[in-house]
Chains A and B, each alone.
Chain A
Amino acid sequence: MTDFATSPSTTTGQRLRAAGSAVASLPFAYAATLILLIAAYFMRPALLSPMLLLLIARQAAPLGLAAIGQSLCMRVLSIDLSIGGVIVGVSYILTGGLLPFSDPVLMLIAIAFGVAVGLLNAFFITRLRASSVIVTLAVTLIITGVAVAFSQLRSPGDAPEMLRQVSRLKIGIVPVALLIWLAVLIPIAVFLRMSVFGRYIDAIGANPRAAWVSGIPYVRVVTVVHVMSSLFAVFSGFLLIGFVGVGSMDLGRDLALNSLAAVILGGVTFGSGKGGVLGPTVAALMLTFSFNLLTSLGLGEPAKLMLQGLIIGVAAAAYSIQRKT
């Protein structure tokens, strides 16, 4: 690696090469965003109006929030497939009508539920050394099953008025949902960059065994990461329920996989322990934009599924190639 600041002897050629490799190491999402925007400019220029772009950004907010949590999990070599389950659970708590409380209390209960799911995931992963894929997948299945069973007794009702308001409100032309996303994103990004917690995440991602041997509180860090991921899923659920307006057991079903795709496209690969928050954020925007573009081209759900599968497959292949070299 070339040290720009302190080595005056670097030649222009070296600098160019270093700049070139820096560009090549940028998250794939950046280039893909550019390509998509250009493609849209030629095929569906209407998508590029500021109004529509802002709407797409608003639509990307739930995915963006979930992707922050997912990226934290993946940076400590874990994974969170319980995001979908958490959202279904939140949806049922808020709209199921089973609990006789006011909306703010129900939202607090939903947050507590998220914390509980995060703790449960972390317990199985750190203490019992279970595979994070299996644990979080099982958790999502259990929650979904329970919620679906209960919803057959009594079908879910309307979303809390407050959440529907949030989904509709704008400040100027900027949707409030987008502002909420940014308000969560920026402090988290700063915190991860500056804090001991952020350093420990990098260390665990680089070598979990060494992190443990050198006294890094592995269990605590991974637990906090999973609780955070579940909390992001809860907030993501709040936004989604507000958008839809009524409770649904299908809500956020593909959010776990899409967040995975966003994190991979955002430059966080399995097992490298590297990456930031900006990459997954751009990737969330890009994915949402691409789904809209596909829909506007008349290639809806099937193309979307193929795209998701392709992203995850290619990322897994890229990872195993990287491991061999």
Chain B
Amino acid sequence: MISFHNVTKRFGSNFALSDVSFDCKAGSVHALTGENGAGKSTLMNLLAGVFSADGGEIRLRGAPIAPERPADSQRLGISTIFQELTLLGNLTIAENLFLGREPMRRGMVDRAEMRTCARAALARLGSTLDVDTFCGDLSVADQQLVEIAKGVSTDADIFIFDEPTAALNAPEVEKLGELLASLKAAGKLVFYVSHRLEEIFRFCDQVTVLKDGAHVETRPTAGLDRDQLVSLMVGRVLSQFYPERPSGPPGGPVALEVDRLQIEAGGPQVSFSLRQGEILGLAGLEGQGQRSIIRALGGLQPAVAGAVSKHEGSQARKLDLSVVQTVLAGIGFVPEDRKIEGLYLPLSITENIGIGMLRRSSIWQMARTRRDVIASLMARMEIRSTSARQLVGQLSGGNQQKVMIGRWLASGIDVLLLEEPTRGVDVGAKAEIYALLRDFADNGGAVLMISSELLEVLGLCDRILVVRQNQIVAELEGSAASEDEVMRLALTGRAANLAESHA
């Protein structure tokens, strides 16, 4: 249906795409994958009319097309669901879904019709959101769902999904799978841009791998396994994606003791301890309270009751949960949205990392920037940049993530709280970040993390606490836990045998 012939795109002197050629069939889900910066988004942007190609040809049913703006590509029957959220916060879900193509009756917007259609579009994704909710009030996951509903409700033949599951939880991903299957059955062509290998294998028929702007391979997913696909993407075999866990039971001294922490008045209390040398994961479905727990510990969200104490040697100190105090006590927080909450994009790498070293200084003191420390840290973390003076805004996602984590490593903290440690990061950088976190723990640090990628939690963590409805329902050993077990606990709050005997 669509074929690419020697497609080339330059940005300045850099080739974002060079001589990319492959074909895609109608009635299939075609995965597009590769490391960050491989060119997959650029290629889709050519199809979506965001950029124009510098060379080569894109053919739709044999006829060359060259959409110059997004409207052109919509007219050609191409609908794009972008990774960035494009909803308008002060309009309702229904208004957003039909923005610019509102159903009309006698010259007026037919609001009833609009709401009905909106409900139907959401229902296809298994969502029962109220279509009169303002999009600004939705969680990121719900916004993503609305975004998908918006893209799918147009009458198109070709759909582009750019990292659609970044914010979705497991049941929502499941629904998305059903939606993809129904589009496929209707003879549509779906492009599925993703890093997530399990989704590629589950949803997609064909996979195209790009690397550094060049086409590596287009193959049916049926003939591939996970390791083969990863080595196609990185061009090397990842000997070990997740670092090895330390042998023996995790039994370091307690670093952080959480005692009956209560997030909401009348809500449940959580108690747990985080030990030195371990990586502890909070797992669960989206919106079950993991985020509130980690944000409360970082001092970013107030807690109603409870005590948190930090242990240093034999001393325990009760913490005042404000950001300034927790950072002073040696607890660093890495937010999931690095651009909004984490980094100073207009400042250099040195400034971004160096500011962490000042955490114990008074504002009236002279600032010392240990350039040698930053240089060795950058080398150890393999931060790829032109120099330490490069602006962080110019780095790739993976390198930005490393800078954000590096700020805390350089600052000498010993407890690290992380939200989504590898969101929007390519496979190679993921493995490097995992190794860094393991290294931090091996040197006596304590890591607490939440992640919507269950495999990441299973692969990396020593212990896993499953959170459901703001409560910790189970504690599992990381090396022994299975995906199935965690999902069951997260969904039902019960272990497998109990659930079965109950049923």
- A binding-site residues for B, Cβ under 8 Å: 1, 3, 6-7, 194-200, 202-203, 206-207, 209-217, 220-221, 224, 272-274
Contact = CB atoms under 8 A, between A and B. Distances in A.
B340 A196 contact: no
Contact of B355 (A7, A195, A203, A273): A203
Given A3-B386, A199-B358, A210 B366 contact: no
A203 B347 contact: yes
A209 B300 CA distance: 11
B484 interface: no
Contacts of B358: 196, 199-200
Interface in B303-350: 323-324, 326-328, 332-333, 335, 340-347
Interface stretch (B83-91, B159-167, B243-251, B387-395): B387-395
Contacts of A272: 346
A304 to B, nearest CB: 34
Interface of B: 298-300, 323-324, 326-328, 332-333, 335, 340-347, 351, 354-356, 358-359, 361-367, 386-387, 389-391, 407
B346 A206 contact: yes
B387 A7 contact: yes
B404 to A, nearest CB: 9
B346 A274 contact: yes
B344 A207 contact: yes
A216 B390 CA distance: 23
B363 A213 contact: no
Contacts of B341: 209-210, 213
Contacts of B333: 213-215
Contacts of A210: 340-344
B310 to A, nearest CB: 14
Nearest to B351: A202
A29 B4 CA distance: 52
A99 B16 CA distance: 73
Closest 3 CB pairs of A and B: A215-B327, A206-B344, A3-B387
B323 A196 contact: no
**Interface SS, A side:** helix
A195 B326 CA distance: 23
A216 B346 contact: no
Nearest to A212: B323
Nearest to B358: A196
Nearest to B390: A1
Given A199-B355, A199-B367, 8 more contacts: A7-B387, A195-B367, A196-B364, A196-B367, A207-B340, A213-B342, A214-B342, A215-B323
A196 B366 contact: yes
A224 B363 contact: yes
Given A196-B358, A196-B367, A213 B387 contact: no
A214 B355 contact: yes
A33 B110 CA distance: 61
A3 B348 CA distance: 12
8 contacts: A6-B387, A195-B364, A195-B367, A196-B364, A199-B358, A207-B343, A210-B342, A216-B324
Contacts of A213: 298, 300, 323, 333, 335, 341-342
B407 A214 contact: yes
A209 B356 CA distance: 15
Contacts of A206: 344-347
A38 B300 CA distance: 55
Nearest to B356: A214
Contacts of A203: 344, 347, 351, 355
B324 A194 contact: no
From B351, B358, B391, name the one whose CB has the most chain A CB atoms within 10 angstroms: B358
A75 to B, nearest CB: 12
A77 B49 CA distance: 36
A212 B364 CA distance: 18
Contacts of B359: 215
A216 B354 CA distance: 13
A69 B407 CA distance: 30
Nearest to A213: B341
Contacts of A3: 386-387, 389
A206 B362 CA distance: 20
Contacts of A273: 346
A1 B386 contact: yes
A98 to B, nearest CB: 36
Contacts of A215: 299, 323-324, 326-328, 333, 359
Nearest to B329: A215
A2 to B, nearest CB: 8
Nearest to A274: B346
B340 A209 contact: yes
Nearest to B365: A196
A319 to B, nearest CB: 13
